[in-house]
Every structure is written in C-alpha cells, then in structure tokens.
Amino acid sequence: MFRLDNRRALVTGAGSGIGEATAFALASRGAMVYVADRDEPNGRRVADAIRATGAQASFVALDVTDAAACAAVAARVEGEGPLDVLVNNAGIGHVGTITTTNGEDLDRLYAVNVRGVFNVTKAFIGPMLDRRRGSIVNIASIGGIVGIRDRLAYCTTKFAVVGLTKSMALDHAQQGVRVNCVCPGRVETPFVSARLREYPDPEAAYREMASTQAIGRMGRPDEIAAAVVYLASDEAAMITGSALIIDGGWSAGK
C-alpha cells in the first residue's frame, strides 16, 4: 500500500523540516523526487542524502514568489517527464497582532504562503489536467482552521491556503486532479525554532507551544510527511478538497 513507483513528485521548501521529511518519504515509496528550494546548499544536501539511500532525487532551485521562475521549473520538469505529485510546502511565519503587524509583514507572508502556492500550482496544473491525472497537496496549518493568538498574518495566509485548496478541488474534481491540504499543529522544525527565538523566553514559549496539543507534545516532520504520502497515493483516490488536521488534538475542543 501507499506505493508511488514510477511516479514523479516535486516538493517546494524541501531543504528542511516538513519539506525535507516529505521528500524522503515520497522517495522511500518509490517516487522520483524533485527537491525544490531557494536555499541551494540545503536543497542539494537533501537531494544527495536521498540518492545515498538508493532512491531517486534531483535538486531544483526555486523561489516560489517568482511566477516566471515557477513556469521555467515546470517546463524543465515536464520536459524530463510528467509530474504526478506536487507538494506546496514552502512557507514562512510571523509573530504579531493587528497592532504589531504592518502591511509589509502581511505582504511578505502573502507572497510566499499564498501567492507561492498559486504560482507553483498554476505552473504545473495544466499538464496534469491534460493527462487527467495528478495529486496536489498543500501544507496549510492548524492556523488555517482556528485562530491562534499573536499570529495574525500567518493565520490570514493559512486560511487562504485552505480556501485555495477547496476551490481548486471543486474546479478540477472531474478532470482527474485531486487537491488536498494538510493542517499541522506545532511541529519541531527549524521553522518553529526560528519562531521560538522571537520570544523573550524561548524555553517558556516551547513549553507553552507543546502544551496546546492535547497529547502533550509537538509533532514530528515524519508524521506530517506520512499524511502527504497517503494523500498522494492511489489509496486516497476518493479524497479531494479535504483539510487533514494533524494537531495532536489541539483543535478537538474548539
């Protein structure tokens, strides 16, 4: 089950964290994986590490905020073979309320978290629709399902990712392309570590973040990656337009 042999996948933001774990998980199930990231050293490191396991991977430099660059990468990838799985993982965060967030902060997050998903999907979805086959998985957040204190810009963009997912799923449900998203809670990644450093007391912030999840701990990147593999696989053929919550019970009582 959950095999991806002879499939080709691309993961954005695959140079670390959830993206790295997802690239490894897809490759371990038989997929050839394009490791896409604007951080070339880490992207190449991940691609090299995947190949060292005997799986298939290739690094592609990509800034998801650049629509022309996304189109160029799509042309290159499609020139090498059809893309079956697209994982829009690249994202950034911000700590702040409406009083401490400025317009530039919101624009910066929107450019990556929302427009980035739009740019990459727009570049790749045409050939998928022509072939009437494809699975797109967007990495949203529990912050796209419920509000989170001090995360105004982040939640705004992640709610938008959930909306993009549902809209695209409805638009293309009868054309063979499935679109879903995963909504993680707190996950121990370099992304979260960077957010913790923005607090006056990072250790207290870590304890608070872990305690918001009913099971009493943060998630692991591989736990999120496993859900992406499922949604990408044929076993999830009946699933489209879903927002899969993986939050350790955080939102269960909301």
Q: Which residues are catalytic?
A: 154
Spatial distance between the Cα atoms of 132 and 125, rounded to a whole number of angstroms? 10
Sheet strands side by side (includes 32-37): 56-61, 32-37, 8-12, 85-88, 134-139, 177-184, 243-246
Spatial distance between the Cα atoms of 250 and 254, rounded to a whole number of angstroms? 8
Asked if 109 and 157 count as a contact pair (C-beta separation under 8 A), the reply is: yes
* Residue 157: its H or E element: helix 152-172
Spatial distance between the Cα atoms of 202 and 249, rounded to a whole number of angstroms? 23
Name the nearest CA neighbour of 42 among 50, 32, 54: 50
